[in-house]
């Protein structure tokens, strides 16, 4: 009996692989490569309609374009689905930061979102007030450091332009700016991680935060979904507290440096709260490390420095709704069952949102175009979700899952929960797909091995049992639904483009996006026509 059982286990993936329709896969590759539209989608999302900050006029324009394109390709039920209210609508219209003394220099900067407009060009005395509290301090330690910071600087910042960082000494840059995953790295990813107990703490204050940056990914994968949600909310509160403090203290403007790379780039997120109940932060700008350090060194040496700043921005006076973009290809024999694909549509505002995540959105639009234009038989309905509010805490996908499938807080499932087969996500830049994360769902291993087999010669070889975080598949996994993010080559995503003003069309690799569209279209075709829905893990406990 044991011998027969072993033979049956060995034969299972072989039998599954024999069922793959390689003729359809070949046709998908031909459509995805020879007749690709993916870079055209990306062009309109970035050069014409980018950036796409959630609830901004630019996001709304891009959403209208995306819906028209999906309708043009013959998708049904294309609509905006409200999940709001979100927060203020904010859009930068003009900005500049100039050093006028001791020498004139037009500085390379970007404003941070939800900064207050300045009353025209303004100047002020520069003061270094370094805020030495960071994301990896953890909420409790950050609060302690920020309370000490407020006590130190209360009453000292009125009329000042505040420099938030000490100047840094020049340092050697040894890490490559552009990278593809090696076979050895993929081999390591395919290995199961060392077993470790899931954290059971209920408060962020009880969490032991990692001291080393190398431990960050492992740390976040160990956090329960309920704590991840609280973490998003906490850092919203941190941004609000920081912006409110500087506004109350009467700072003229805030300057900070991009400490990530010395490549003339700036890394821009939020200055403060996006909620209309909170005061806007003063005009806040991020500068290149080289230019910031030049100014800070002069201030530190008590050399007179004059800086002039200006920011014009549209800011709504009340919270507005957030929206997701939804469309579908109706299925046949099992049309009430759903296979979903998605990517977050929103971006930050200093670039045009190309690799984060215009690339993922363009690929998913292309997947729908491929499936529809080929008129493939799809037993299940295939639905696309392009999410907003991801950058602020997965707001769009979390709201969609709560509305349609289940609330992770109570785990009271809705009828649609039983109808979703699975969800496929793309959101790690424009690198080609090298495999997939199983999110601990080992029952999916033979299926992904089967589906990726025709793409081994294109680099998609790795099936990892591991978890990956930070994007919208987590919203589905949080309620026990099969949700997956693909492994991608990093390229220059983490070193240059991620959340920076260099996140533009020029950093997207056409061949990589064509490959990704072909891989996902093939996986979706297989999932839509499989005899059974995708295997699920145990339903999570209510949070």
Q: Are residues 217 and 109 in the same domain?
A: yes
Question: Would you state the structure tokens that stand for residue 102, as one six-digit string?
Answer: 């001791």
Determine, yes or no, domain membership for 29. no
* CATH number of the domain where residue 410 is located: 3.40.630.10
- pTM for the complete prediction? 0.93
pLDDT at position 450 is 97
Q: What is the pLDDT of residue 61?
A: 98
Do 151 and 231 belong to one domain? yes
The answer to whether 263 touches 291, Cβ cutoff 8 Å, is: no
Of 475, 276, 491, the C-alpha closest to 395 is 475
Beta bridge partners of 383: 328, 340
Q: What is the mean predicted confidence (pLDDT) over 341-357?
A: 97
DSSP state of 205: G
What would the pLDDT profile of 312-326 be if each residue is shown by its tens digit? 999 999 999 999 999
Contact predicate 380/328, CB 8 Å: no
At residue 20, the pLDDT reads 83
Do residues 47 and 108 both lie within one domain? no
User: Do 462 and 440 sit in the same domain of this protein?
Assistant: yes
Contact between residue 343 and residue 364 where contact means Cβ atoms under 8 Å apart: yes
The two tokens of residue 15 are: 């039998």
Please tell me the distance from the alpha carbon of residue 192 to that of residue 91, in angstroms, as a whole number: 44
By DSSP bridging, strand 76-82 and strand 323-329 are: antiparallel
**How many CB atoms are located within 10 Å of the residue 200 CB?**
7
Look up residue 321 and give its two tokens.
């709704």
Q: Are residues 348 and 463 in the same domain?
A: yes
Question: What is the domain range of residue 476?
Answer: 36-83+344-529
Is the distance from CB of 238 to CB of 273 less than 8 angstroms? no
Q: Is residue 8 part of a domain?
A: no
Distance between CA atoms of 396 and 389, rounded to whole angstroms?
A: 5
Residue 539 is assigned to a structural domain of this protein: no
425 and 283 in a common domain: no
Pick the range with the lowest mean pLDDT from 1-5, 232-236, 379-383, 516-520.
1-5
User: Is residue 456 included in any domain, yes or no?
Assistant: yes
The DSSP code for 79 is E
- Among 311, 333, 356, which residue terminates a domain? 311
Indicate whether 356 and 436 sit together in one domain: yes
Domain boundary among 258, 288, 311: 311
- DSSP string over 341-361: EEEE----SSS--IIIIIHHH
Looking at residue 23, what DSSP letter applies?
A: H
User: What would the pLDDT profile of 64-117 be if each residue is shown by its tens digit?
Assistant: 999 999 999 999 999 999 998 999 999 999 999 999 999 999 999 999 999 999
DSSP string, 356-396: IIIHHHHHHHHHHHHHHHTT---SEEEEEEEESS-TTTSHH
Helix 359-373 / helix 57-72 crossing angle, nearest 10 deg: 20
Least confident interval from 66-80, 203-217, 234-248, 434-448: 203-217
- Whether residues 262 and 304 share a domain: the answer is yes
Task: Say whether both 57 and 165 belong to one domain.
Answer: no
- Burial readout 395-412 (b: 16 or more C-beta within 10 A, e: otherwise): bbbbbbbbebbbbbeebe
Q: Do 256 and 282 sit in the same domain of this protein?
A: yes
Which residue, 186, 506, 219, 477, is CA-closest to 352?
A: 506
Same domain for 204 and 353, yes or no, is no
CATH number of the domain encompassing residue 214: 3.50.30.30
**Which range (157-166, 254-263, 268-277, 311-320) has the least confidence?**
254-263
Cis omega before residue 51 (within 30°)? Answer: yes
From 263, 293, 311, the end of a domain falls on: 311
Beta-carbon contacts of residue 336 (< 8 Å; ≥ 6 apart)? 381, 419
Query: DSSP characters for 443-496?
Result: GGHHHHHHHHGGGGGGT--EEE-----SSTHHHHHTTT--EEEEEE--BTIIII
| Residue 237 lies inside a defined structural domain of this protein | yes
Asked if residue 318 lies in contact with residue 276, where contact means CB atoms within 8 angstroms, the answer is: yes
Could you tell me how many residues make up the chain?
A: 543
Considering the domain boundaries, does residue 394 fall inside one? yes
**Residue 319 counted as domain residue:** no
Question: Which of these, 354, 396, 374, lies nearest to 509 by C-alpha position?
Answer: 354
Query: Do residues 355 and 463 share a domain?
Result: yes
In a domain, 136, yes or no: yes
Structural domain total, the chain = 2
């Amino acid at each position: 009996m044991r011998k027969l059982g072993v033979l049956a286990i060995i034969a299972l993936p072989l039998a599954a692989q024999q069922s793959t329709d390689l003729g359809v896969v070949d046709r998908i590759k031909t459509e995805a490569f020879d007749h690709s539209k993916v870079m055209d989608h990306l062009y309109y999302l970035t050069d014409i309609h980018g950036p796409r900050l959630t609830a901004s006029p630019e996001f709304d324009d891009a959403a209208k374009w995306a819906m028209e394109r999906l309708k043009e390709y013959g998708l049904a039920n294309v609509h905006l689905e409200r999940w709001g209210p979100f927060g203020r609508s904010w859009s930068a219209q003009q900005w500049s930061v100039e050093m006028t003394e001791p020498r004139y220099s037009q500085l390379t900067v970007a404003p941070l979102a939800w900064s207050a407009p300045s009353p025209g060009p303004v100047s002020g005395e520069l003061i270094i007030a370094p805020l030495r509290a960071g994301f990896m301090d953890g909420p409790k330690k950050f609060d302690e450091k920020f309370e000490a910071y407020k006590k130190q600087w209360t009453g000292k910042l009125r009329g000042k332009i505040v420099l938030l960082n000490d100047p840094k000494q020049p340092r050697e840059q040894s890490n490559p700016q552009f990278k593809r995953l090696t076979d050895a790295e993929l081999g390591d990813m395919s290995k199961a991680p060392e077993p470790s107990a899931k954290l059971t703490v209920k408060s962020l204050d009880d969490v032991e935060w990692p001291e080393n940056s190398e431990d960050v990914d492992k740390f976040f994968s160990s956090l329960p979904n309920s704590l991840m949600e609280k973490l998003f909310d906490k850092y919203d509160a941190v941004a609000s507290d920081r912006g409110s403090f500087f506004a109350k203290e009467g700072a003229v403007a805030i300057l900070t440096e991009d400490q990530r790379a010395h490549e003339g780039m700036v890394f821009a997120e939020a200055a403060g709260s996006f909620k209309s109940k909170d005061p806007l932060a003063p005009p806040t700008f991020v500068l290149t490390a080289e230019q910031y350090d030049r100014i800070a060194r002069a201030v530190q040496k008590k050399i007179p420095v004059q800086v002039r700043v200006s920011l014009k921005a549209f800011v709504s006076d009340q919270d507005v709704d957030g929206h997701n973009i939804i469309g579908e290809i109706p299925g046949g024999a099992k049309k009430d069952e759903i296979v979903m694909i998605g990517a977050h549509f929103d971006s930050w505002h200093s670039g045009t949102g190309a690799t984060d995540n215009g690339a993922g959105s363009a690929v998913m639009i292309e997947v729908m175009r491929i499936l529809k234009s080929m008129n493939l038989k799809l037993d299940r309905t295939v639905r696309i979700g392009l999410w907003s509010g991801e950058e602020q805490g997965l707001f769009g996908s979390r709201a969609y899952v709560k509305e349609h499938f289940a609330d992770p807080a109570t785990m009271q499932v809705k009828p649609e929960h039983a109808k979703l087969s699975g969800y496929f996500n793309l959101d790690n830049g424009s690198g080609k797909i090298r495999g997939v994360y199983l999110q601990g769902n080992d029952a999916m291993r033979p299926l992904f091995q089967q589906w990726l087999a025709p793409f081994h010669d294109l680099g998609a070889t790795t099936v990892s049992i591991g978890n990956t975080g930070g994007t919208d598949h987590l919203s589905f996994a949080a309620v026990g639904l099969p949700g997956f993010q693909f492994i991608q080559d990093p390229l220059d995503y983490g070193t240059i483009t991620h959340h920076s003003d260099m996140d533009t069309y020029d950093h997207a690799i056409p061949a990589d996006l064509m490959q990704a569209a072909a891989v996902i279209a093939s996986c979706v075709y297989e999932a839509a026509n499989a005899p059974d829905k995708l295997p699920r893990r145990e339903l999570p406990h209510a949070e």
